[in-house]
Amino acid sequence: MDTRIGFGWDSHAFKAGVPLRIGGMTIEHPEGLAGHSDGDVLLHAVTDALLGSIAAGDIGTFFPPGDARWKDADSGIFIKLALEELKNAGYQIVNIDCTLILTAPKIVPIAGDMRARVAELLDIEIDQISIKAKTPEGLGLDHVAQCHAIALVERALDDEDLKSMAAVVESQRQLEDVVDDLLASVHGVPKKKIVPVYDTEDIT
């Protein structure tokens, strides 16, 4: 299977008077994150990780910070663009691992809800997204939120791939039949019998 890895990183300073948006959620906090869009540091890092996995550039390539159209924009738009680029390249998400670095607010109590929201935005299962949080102890970054994200993607199977897999399975069955015949004829080992779990004559 053809797999690739993408890495994304983003950082925003806290700013009074704006809502705090992380992971597609609005979080109760005295300050939000400064940014041309909604400042969602996690979704920005995930977007760059996905784009990076297929060598498609970064957020700035598609959404220049100087473009007024993206002022206060919902970062879910960036995620949708990254997913479309991923699909066009023939890949799909295997899993994503994120680490937030910030002093406050505490992420652990809401990590489950955040994972569910990000999974929804990415159209994946919740067990395909991990979100952790660390504090920037001793780094002098108490007024900044950062996020690191790693995305593992794999080439999506098309109809021809599925046909090839079916052929392999059929070949495997044929090989097993040959082996059973050889064991029976040479070594006297009885052929394997598939015993039904119910009497097919009873089905009406």
Question: Which comes out higher in pLDDT, residue 53 or 183?
Answer: 53
Q: Distances in Å between the alpha carbon of 49 and those of 55, 72, 149?
A: 10, 22, 6
Q: What is the DSSP string of 137-180?
A: TTTT-TTEEEEEEEEEEEEPP-HHHHHHHHHHHHHHHHHHHHHH
Decide if pLDDT at 7 tops 70.
yes
pLDDT beyond 90 at 14: yes
> For the chain, which residues make up each domain, given as ranges?
3-155, 159-202
Higher pLDDT, 172 or 144: 144
> For position 31, what pLDDT does the model report?
96
- On the question of pLDDT at 98 being above 70, the answer is yes
**Residues 43-58: what's their mean pLDDT?**
97
Angle in degrees, CA 155, 158, 163, rounded to 5: 120
- How far is 171 from 182, CA to CA, in rounded Å? 17
Indicate if the pLDDT at residue 162 is higher than 60: no
Q: Are 10 and 147 in contact (CB under 8 A)?
A: yes
- Residue listed under structure tokens 């392999």: 168
Q: Is the pTM of this model over 0.85?
A: no
Q: What is the pLDDT at residue 203?
A: 47
Domain 3-155 has CATH 3.30.1330.50: yes
pLDDT at residue 199 in the model: 53
pLDDT of residue 200 exceeding 60: no
Supply φ then ψ for residue 6, to 5 degrees: -125, 145
Percent of the residues in the chain that have a pLDDT greater than 70, as a whole number: 77
- Kindly report which listed range (78-87, 123-132, 178-187) carries the lowest average pLDDT score: 178-187
pLDDT at 157: 78
User: Among 61-65, 96-100, 109-113, where is mean pLDDT lowest?
Assistant: 61-65
Helix (H, G, I), strand (E, B) or coil at 200: helix
